[in-house]
Amino acid sequence: MRRTLLIVLAGGKGSRLDVLTVGRAKPSLPVGGTARLIDVVMSNAANSGLRDVWVVQQYEPHLLNDHLAGGRPWDLDRNQGGLRVLPPYQGAEGEGFASGNADALARQARVIAAFDPEVVIVCSADHLFTLDLAAVDEFHRERDALLTIVTTVLDRSQDPTRHALIDVDDRGRVTGMHDKPDDPPHRLAATEVFAYETKALLGTLAELRRADEPLGDYGDALVPALIDTGRAHAFAHEGYWRDLGTPEAYLDSQLELLRPRSRFRLDDPAWPIISPPVSRVPARIEASAHLDGTWVSPGAVVRGTVVDSIIGPGTVVEAGADVRHSVLMADVKVGAGASVARAVVADGVWIGAEARLGAPNARRPVLVGASRRLAARTEVAAGTHLEPVDDKPLLA
């Protein structure tokens, strides 16, 4: 069998999401109410038939580890191969915590070399996308590439200055990279899915270390060095891809799921997003409730109005409350008469009666950190970020 290894980078703090990632790794954030962000890449691996998946962790891994459940939801709890979790460890090359995604690979170099795969595919765990990784593997091998970069054309809603843009010649070879340019030359971006020939990956990392080059992120040294070999190729991804790195993207990408013809589906029978089951009783909808264009998760209770929103497990919306264009995570309580609009509300938040959060047409959403308590008749302006009640890790 082909020895292809998928490495999922899930150790980033997700600082652009601010209060939402205090105490939790970004890949553990919910998507669509019951799934989590890491389920997307894990499901891509399962649907692609990949058997060896390693998850590199660093920041607040507790909740993420609990969710991964040893790989069981994706049939990766195998006697041979399957899921392997790679935390930082004493004795790694470059001890301590990694300073970026390329540095994270370098710190696991000895483990990768010992496994001796033919191809290493690397994905970030903070994007919403569907991709046949087996097709990427085949493309990479057919071209005898040292590096394959999966690319996508950014649409108008995506800011090219936040992405690495890729130059490609008429033969599909990658000729250059512009990492988060101030003046973007085009809109062809790297999706942060890369396939590496293993010897080229490990050899380049070792050379950069010997030259005392700061490894940092992909665009700092690793990818440019491999592009310079002339054996880097672009794999054009024509499906759905979104970076959920900003509050606006995190909220809007989920609200897109509610559309009848959404380009990304969690329940696509041909490519399902697989997630561990939620152990809650069915949702309860009372006679006073009004719902439109809304997903309601197990264990939730709705007595008020909810429009164009996602209601997480165990969340309660009291009678007279109004929730619009928002994502409420697990065990949120919205008091009677309260209004929530264009907001992302983290686990365990209580919103007092007649409180007012956000505005329906605001560009910047309100973010409320976990377990926060908002008093009755509190007013929170659009774009406000409210810290969680403390910075303790979320363990369950």
What count of residues does the chain have? 396
pLDDT of residue 345: 98
Confidence of residue 1 (pLDDT cuts 50, 70, 90): low
pLDDT score, position 321: 98
Q: Tell me, what's the pLDDT at 295?
A: 98
**Predicted confidence band at 150 (pLDDT cuts at 50, 70, 90)?**
very high
Q: What pLDDT was estimated at residue 156?
A: 87
Residue 209 confidence (pLDDT) = 87
pLDDT digits (tens, 9 = 90+) for 23-77: 888 999 999 999 999 999 999 999 999 999 999 988 888 888 888 888 899 999 8
The full set of domains in the chain, from first to last, is 4-257 (3.90.550.10), 284-386 (2.160.10.10)
Measured distance CA(57)–CA(80) in Å, rounded: 21
Mean pLDDT score across all residues of the chain:
92
Predicted confidence (pLDDT) at residue 253 exceeds the cutoff of 70: yes
pLDDT above 80 (res 12)? no
The pLDDT of residue 395: 53
Distance CA 389, CA 28 (A): 19
The residue among 137 and 98 whose pLDDT is bigger is: 137
pLDDT of residue 158: 87
Tell me, what's the pLDDT at 391? 58
Q: Is the pLDDT of residue 211 over 90?
A: no
pLDDT digits (tens, 9 = 90+) for 268-285: 999 999 999 888 999 999
Q: What are the tokens at 387?
A: 């810290």
Q: What is the pLDDT of residue 91?
A: 66
Please name the amino acid found at residue 331: D
Identify which has the larger pLDDT, 157 or 348.
Answer: 348
DSSP character at residue 366:
E
pLDDT at 340: 98
Q: Is the pLDDT of residue 96 over 90?
A: no
> Tell me, what amino acid is at 192?
E
Q: Which residue has the higher pLDDT, 14 or 274?
A: 274
pLDDT at 245 over 90: no
Buried b / exposed e across 276-310, counting CB within 10 Å, b at 16+? beeeeeebeeeeebebeebbbbbbbbbbbbbbbbb
Q: What is the mean pLDDT of residues 177-190?
A: 94
Instruction: Report the distance separating Cα 395 and Cα 18, nearest Å.
Output: 19
Q: What is the pLDDT of residue 360?
A: 93
> Is residue 204's pLDDT more than 60?
yes
Whether the predicted pLDDT of 142 surpasses 90 = yes
Span 11-22, average pLDDT: 86
Segment 327-342 mean pLDDT: 98
